[in-house]
Structure 1
């Protein structure tokens, strides 16, 4: 078995937390060019900085840009005692 690196990110909205693999379904590249710059300026959508794709936070569905209808790959996370952990 080979070990590798995993790149993911989490978004917290109130008490809810969702996690996604940091990979755009359109181009297969990380979503951002700058660390921790995953949300639009309004903070209401996840944005791919490369091609302008926009994704809903709740389910990772692409609602704008070149991959409409596709989804980000979910990364199961949960909150235990206020700390985000992998599910």
Structure 2
């Protein structure tokens, strides 16, 4: 499927081919390289995997651990399992 911009270019090329009376044989462009596949769509945003039971702050589990999580684990005595959101709670 062509974008509107591509459709406009194709129309312009067809007009030029008609005007100059160019044949398909004269357009011999040799073998064509296969098109690269379209990039995959961006991944859907992931929900939080960890939640503080009192402050309700969340973290998706990617990247650097947030400060609230570090403090909950080291100073407040929570375990990772206590902060992990159960898959049932996400549904």
- For normalisation by structure 1, the TM-score amounts to 0.25
Q: Per residue, is there more helix in 1 or in 2?
A: 2
Q: Per residue, is there more strand in 1 or in 2?
A: 1
Larger relative contact order (CA 8 Å, sep ≥ 6): 1
Bigger-Rg structure (1/2): 2
- For normalisation by structure 2, the TM-score amounts to 0.25
